[in-house]
Amino acid sequence: MSIFSKDFIFLDQDLNSKEEVFEFIAQKAVNLGIGTEKNKIFDDLLARENEISTGLESNFAIPHAQSSAITKPALLFLSLKSGLDWQNFDDSKAKFIFCILLPKSGFEQNQVEILAKVARIILNPEIKEIILSKDENVIFNSISKFIFEKDQVENHETNSQKIPINAKKVVGITSCTVGIAHTYLAAEKLEMGLKQNGYIPKIETRGSVGPKNVLTKEDIEEAEFVIVASDLEIDSSIFDQKKVYFTSTKAAIHETEDVIQKAKKATILHNKQKKQTQNQENRTSIVKHIITGISYMIPYVVFGGIMIALSLGIGKAIYGNAEAAPKGDFLWWMLEIGVIAFKLMIGVLGGYIAYSIAGRAALAPGFIVATVGNTNDLFYGIGGISVQTPMGFIGAVIFGILVGYSVKYINSLKIQKSLSAILPIFVIPIGVSLFWSLIVIFLIGAPIGWVLDKLIAGLKHVFENKDGIGIGVAFLLGLLLGGMAGFDMGGPVNKVAFLTSTALVSTQVYEPMGMMAAAIPVAPIGMGITTLIWRRKFTKEEKSLGLSAIIMGFIGISEGAIPFAIADPKRVISANVIGSAVAGGLAGLLAVTNQAGHGGPIVAILGAVGSIKHGIGLGIAFFFLSVIVGSFTTALIYGLWKDRNFNIFSNLTRKNHKKGAK
């Protein structure tokens, strides 16, 4: 069976998510005899996708993976009935899927070289027109021609680009984790971009077939500057004392012109700078995995918090302020369901952090170890330490990362094929789970739990202090959390503040979540109010966008302000941060609490908001006061600052045009 045949073409498939696409591909790989284990192929495709999106441009995506479950290299093509969000860098929906599957070993070098050309096919304007014909024979013949005829793609557009006689040379290296698609597409985009800027490019590719177009010492000496676009660690000592710009293959593909301009201004490389760059990339990667875990955890937080808040709020109204609903009452069952959701969310956080790092095999160990860390009764009392507080979110983050990288390391080991099948079924779930669980129980659990005991006790003392330092700390903490919530509207900074506040909810410290709940809706509601008050400064489309933002803010979705922030970042983000900080600070000053891990007026309506100091009624009133004051602060700042002639939609269009032109 060849690398590509008519049997590998699947047109007009009704698939509605990346997961469904990968499930379909994995099943077809087994059916076609190019793979042996559907679940393993699925896991490897998903793990690769989690590292860097394989979405490209013009409705194309090229998911790919090397897997021990693949027996023969192959190229599959799918067209979808409706486009999917694949994080394509031109914001197009993925409708045309080229999937490259490679075994871990046992393939010929020329096979990989052929498959690598697939990443460059999309640069040819004819390919999309051919695919849209929906003629299977035409599609098969055309794709075969592109990938099998030598230099068909590589020479595309090359001859039309004229380079000045005295042009300076620029060299670079590209390398991605699998070494197929992004490696070669990044090189192609950099070469095209450098030629358009009047340079002579030479880009070394370090892909699955080994280094190609290798740089010589003379090449490097002659180079004006160097671009290293790599998702792997690259020994850059050969570039010492040269101007070197480090970036990712994703940036080289998506933001080619921006990368080139930054590379022109790069500083001379020293070994110390190289290490700092690599450390920064590692930190960014870990943050990405933590945010993945948080995104899977949020539904548990919201559901559990709302159930607990409704049960306690209605129970106090019926049975008295000091009484909860009696056992067996419907409200008691609601409370217990909410408590279970809160217990599960710790395991979910740890499990999906591990899953983000190492795929499905790491999910169960991450979940189990995080749950063990959240069960303080299991901790061995070192030195007679009595622990009342479990490791909670801190344990989930720590052991999600440790489990994830443990599983990733095990999967990277070269072992016999006959033994590889037992790794995800036996070795990883039992060995990894047991090892780290014992570490938690006998070594780490008690000391960390003891420290958290003291921290929680200190925070409770601060928030129970009705005057002096307690009020001051609450106000400053509210300013900080609120400002973080408004800074990137659902992004990493917002997520850090959210995770901190949610972690304290699980320990019955509800004030920080009250601050976050008041700050979260300020950015979208504030933008919406601005479009209503300063109507003459906005177009009809922008006013419609503002109305949508208000609705999203009401239900606690801060992303409603993102279109405004993208188009006019300096003014919008400044206004959002100030308004959100005001809301958070005011909520802290007035001792607003929130028992649900969510924000916006919706949580007050559902009964999650209140105040330990002032009671439920005043707590809700103070919450709405904080939201209103913060939202109008944002609206006032942006409304007065905004240029009447600045149009959001036209600016977005200009930005997208520039982005697409790179």
Residue 644 is classified by DSSP as T
Q: Compute the distance between CA of residue 202 and CA of residue 191 in angstroms, rounded to an integer.
A: 7
Q: Compute the distance between CA of residue 446 and CA of residue 386 in angstroms, rounded to an integer.
A: 8
Q: Compute the distance between CA of residue 210 and CA of residue 180 in angstroms, rounded to an integer.
A: 11
Pair of tokens at residue 162: 């004229």
Q: Compute the distance between CA of residue 81 and CA of residue 295 in angstroms, rounded to an integer.
A: 28
Q: Do residues 600 and 592 make contact, with C-beta atoms less than 8 angstroms apart? A: no
Give helix 522-533 / helix 615-641 axis angle, nearest 10°.
50
Active site residue 176: yes
Q: Do residues 309 and 275 make contact, with C-beta atoms less than 8 angstroms apart? A: no
From 26, 74, 102, 176, the catalytic residue: 176
Q: Do residues 526 and 631 make contact, with C-beta atoms less than 8 angstroms apart? A: yes
Q: Do residues 511 and 595 make contact, with C-beta atoms less than 8 angstroms apart? A: no
C-alpha torsion sign, points 533, 536, 537, 539: positive
Pair of tokens at residue 294: 């948080």
Q: Do residues 422 and 413 make contact, with C-beta atoms less than 8 angstroms apart? A: no
Pair of tokens at residue 269: 């490389």
Report DSSP letters for 522-556, one per residue: HHHHHHHHHHHHTGGGS-HHHHHHHHHHHHHHHTT
Pair of tokens at residue 375: 């069960």
Q: How far is CA 154 from CA 146, 159, 191, 223, in A?
A: 10, 11, 11, 23
Distance of CA 255 to the CA centre of its chain: 19
What is the number of other CB atoms lying within 10 angstroms of the CB of residue 328? 7
Pair of tokens at residue 338: 């909410």
Q: Compute the distance between CA of residue 479 and CA of residue 476 in angstroms, rounded to an integer.
A: 5
Q: With CA atoms as reference, report the closest residue to 302 among 598, 100, 500, 609.
A: 598
Give the contacts of 455 (CB within 8 A, at least 6 positions apart): none
* 659: amino acid identity, one letter: K
Q: Compute the distance between CA of residue 195 and CA of residue 260 in angstroms, rounded to an integer.
A: 11
Give the contacts of 146 (CB within 8 A, at least 6 positions apart): 117, 121, 124, 127, 152, 153
**229 DSSP β-pair partners:** 174, 247
Q: Do residues 446 and 379 make contact, with C-beta atoms less than 8 angstroms apart? A: yes
**Annotated catalytic sites, by residue?**
176
